[in-house]
């Protein structure tokens, strides 16, 4: 079913054309939900925006619009307020019929998009020979949520993991391991991943301090790129070991990804240079092949170049990203590409996209966007680290969240004198702990830094995963108490009588609009806010309206509202990568 906002926009479009002609077809009526229910449910602000263009007073424009506005099946008669606001109040019968449609829909009334696209979401992207750490948390969780929403809308989504599996770091590591632990280059899993990371750090120190080691490492990169069997085997072993460690994290977080590392595009890099050369964009500067950028200057105030091929013939990250962009558009057929990468890379992507557009690699009908996110900070406001100052490993962070969740649960069970088996406790602790970490991140505007606090994210009150999970569990508790089979409720008409029922109903029906917003601006926190408010409105409804003790038809009608709230919570949380619990 089409959303209420879509229906209202369609009606306003017809009215604008009828009142002012075809020139206004497609004009945004600027319809928004009202902040105060006394003004109705929606407000259209289009009359003020047209005043200058039509050279008329906004109230006169508003009157001409509503004179031709056919919404009697949806709303009470529209009212003009203030300088020209058009206020709309939905009819109870219309709300009830829309709820009935939503209840009967497996997709809660959310229709697949009319024109699905091939969309690529590039996210997570850890580096081989390093462990995933807190810095990978946001890209992984935000990227997964964005992909889930787009998939639910009906888009063909390719989830790509652009891992760092190529380049100078492998020259350093392989060179160092040949001296320190050669078995790691010929035998699978000769080293633990933690030891491999330690060797990498030592290799980096040698590379920075020892000129001879640096030369040998660079030569190793050349042999790797040229396909030397021994070096390539060593590289493959290191990649496979890291890949298995990454997969443990992804399995735990229920993240699905297709790996396509930097090495995938290695053979395509010369073609990028050729493409840029054909377009006349390449300029030789100190032996390197560069593209000089518009709008970027160096410290001396001269135009800043983006290096495409270094003087020694090597390539930069920008070259790989251009090759990846070219492949994703021409081979994968992507029409929208979202790069979920930290805000510190904004300049890099601006430059890559500029070059790609100038070279014709990024056509007008393809959207490539950087989806930036801020830092995860400790409660001291600084970058989140361990007490010893080390970067927090992601697996340690998740383990601690589960451990704290388990302690909270065991304490609560003891206080309530409840006895649950070990499997129940472990399952609930795991779901709540992982959900709390995900939701704490996703509920923030991704463009901002946020403070990581176990206490806040595991709290049972406030905008947290446990609060939302409890709202879902509350409905299941109603079912158990009343011996209700929600899947086989008697099919009666939903009847809205109390104010809290109307408030809940209107919020439920706004789900399609919220998902459309998330898909457009790629801000999952909008969905989090919707679900938090849904939980609040459901709890207010349940506290104020008798359900199991109500007389028919209101008893079944309210049970249907409870079930619809639970189904919406479950679907919304699923789109955030969060599973629900039947009991807590």
Q: Which two tokens stand for residue 173?
A: 């590591």
Backbone angles phi, psi at 154, to 5 degrees: 105, 5
Closest CA to 152 of 124, 125, 113: 113
Write the DSSP string, 127-179: BTTS--BGGGHHHHHHHHHHHHHHHHTT-EEEEEE--B-SSHHHHHHHHHHHH
Q: 30 and 46 in contact (C-beta within 8 Å)?
A: yes
Q: Where in the chain is the domain with CATH 3.30.1360.70?
A: 4-90
Q: Tokens 């390449």 sit at which residue?
A: 282
Write the DSSP string, 226-257: TT-HHHHHHHHHHHHHHHHHHHHHHHHHT---
Strands 336-340 and 118-122: parallel
Q: 124 and 87 in contact (C-beta within 8 Å)?
A: no
Q: Which two tokens stand for residue 184?
A: 């790691």
* This prediction's pTM: 0.94
pLDDT given for residue 328 in this prediction: 98
Question: Quick one: DSSP state of residue 389?
Answer: S
pLDDT given for residue 13 in this prediction: 95
Q: 331 and 158 in contact (C-beta within 8 Å)?
A: no
pLDDT given for residue 313 in this prediction: 82
Question: Quick one: DSSP state of residue 189?
Answer: T
Burial per residue of 102-137, b for 16 or more beta-carbon CB atoms within 10 angstroms, e otherwise: bbeeeebbbeeeeeebbbbbbbbbbbbbbbbbbbbb
pLDDT given for residue 491 in this prediction: 73
Q: Which two tokens stand for residue 64?
A: 């001409």
459 Cβ contact list (under 8 Å, min separation 6)? 466, 467
Angle at the Cα of 369 (from 437 to 434), degrees rounded to 5?
10
Q: 334 and 119 in contact (C-beta within 8 Å)?
A: yes
Q: 393 and 133 in contact (C-beta within 8 Å)?
A: yes
Say whether 372 sits in a helix, a strand or coil: coil
Q: Which two tokens stand for residue 410?
A: 């065991």
**Helix (DSSP H) and strand (DSSP E) numbers for the chain:** 20, 14
What is the CATH code of the structural domain delimited by 4-90?
3.30.1360.70
Q: Which CATH superfamily is domain 118-162+262-371 in?
A: HUPs (3.40.50.620)
Report the Cα 422 to chain-centroid distance in Å.
34
* Residues in the chain where the model's pLDDT stays below 50: none
pLDDT given for residue 160 in this prediction: 98
The dihedral region occupied by 333, where left means phi > 0, alpha psi between -120 and 50, and beta the remainder, is left
Q: 2 and 111 in contact (C-beta within 8 Å)?
A: yes
415 Cβ contact list (under 8 Å, min separation 6)? none
147 by Cβ neighbours in 10 Å (0-12 / 13-18 / 19+) ranks as buried
pLDDT given for residue 197 in this prediction: 85
Q: Where in the chain is the domain with CATH 3.40.50.620?
A: 118-162+262-371
Residues in the chain: 584
């Amino acid at each position: 079913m089409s959303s209420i906002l879509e229906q209202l926009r369609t009606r306003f479009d017809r009215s604008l054309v009828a009142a002012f002609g075809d020139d206004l077809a497609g004009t945004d009526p600027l319809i928004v939900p009202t902040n105060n229910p006394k003004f109705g449910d929606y407000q259209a602000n289009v009359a003020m925006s047209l005043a200058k263009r039509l050279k008329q007073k906004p109230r006169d424009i508003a009157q001409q619009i509503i004179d031709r506005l056919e919404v009697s099946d949806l709303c009470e008669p529209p009212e003009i307020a203030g300088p020209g606001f058009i206020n709309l109040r939905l009819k109870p019968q219309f709300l009830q019929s829309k709820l009935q449609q939503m209840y009967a829909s497996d997709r809660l009334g959310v229709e697949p998009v009319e024109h699905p696209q091939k969309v690529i979401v590039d996210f997570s992207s850890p580096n081989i020979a390093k462990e995933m750490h807190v810095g990978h948390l946001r890209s992984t969780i935000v990227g997964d949520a964005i992909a889930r929403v787009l998939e639910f809308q009906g888009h063909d989504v390719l989830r790509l993991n652009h891992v760092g599996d190529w380049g100078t770091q492998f020259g350093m590591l392989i060179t160092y391991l040949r001296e320190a632990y050669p078995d790691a280059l010929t035998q699978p899993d000769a080293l633990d991943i933690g030891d491999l990371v330690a060797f990498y750090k030592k290799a980096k120190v040698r590379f920075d301090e020892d000129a001879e080691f640096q030369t040998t490492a660079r030569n190793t990169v050349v042999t790797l790129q040229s396909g030397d069997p021994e070096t390539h085997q060593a590289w493959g072993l290191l990649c496979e070991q890291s890949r298995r460690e990454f997969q443990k994290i992804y399995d735990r977080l229920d993240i699905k990804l297709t790996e396509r590392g930097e090495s995938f595009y290695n053979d395509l890099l010369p073609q990028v240079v050729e493409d840029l050369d054909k377009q006349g964009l390449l300029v030789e500067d100190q032996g390197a092949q560069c593209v000089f950028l518009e709008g970027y200057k160096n410290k001396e105030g001269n135009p800043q170049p983006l290096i495409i091929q270094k003087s020694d013939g090597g390539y930069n990250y920008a070259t790989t990203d251009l090759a990846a962009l070219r492949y994703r558009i021409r081979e994968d057929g992507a029409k929208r590409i979202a790069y979920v990468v930290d805000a510190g890379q904004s300049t890099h992507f601006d430059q890559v996209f500029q070059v790609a557009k100038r070279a014709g690699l990024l056509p007008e009908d393809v959207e490539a966007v950087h989806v930036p996110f801020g830092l995860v900070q400790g409660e001291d406001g600084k970058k989140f680290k361990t007490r010893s100052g080390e970067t927090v490993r992601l697996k340690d962070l998740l383990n601690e969240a589960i451990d704290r969740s388990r302690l909270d649960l065991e304490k609560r069970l003891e206080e309530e004198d409840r006895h649950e088996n070990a499997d129940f406790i472990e399952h609930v602790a795991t779901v709540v702990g992982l959900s709390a970490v995900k939701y704490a991140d996703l509920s923030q505007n991704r463009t901002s830094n946020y403070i990581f606090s176990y206490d806040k994210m595991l709290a049972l009150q406030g905008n947290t995963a446990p609060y939302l999970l409890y709202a879902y569990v509350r409905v299941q508790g109603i079912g158990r108490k009343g011996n209700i089979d929600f899947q086989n409720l008697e099919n009666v008409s939903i009847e809205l009588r109390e104010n809290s029922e109307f408030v809940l109903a209107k919020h439920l029906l706004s789900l399609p609009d919220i998902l459309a917003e998330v898909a457009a601006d790629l801000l999952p926190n909008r969905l989090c806010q919707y679900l938090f408010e849904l939980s609040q409105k459901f709890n207010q409804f349940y506290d104020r309206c008798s359900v199991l003790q109500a007389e028919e038809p209101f008893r079944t009608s309210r049970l249907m509202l409870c079930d619809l709230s639970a189904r919406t919570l479950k679907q919304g949380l699923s789109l955030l990568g969060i599973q629900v619990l039947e009991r807590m």
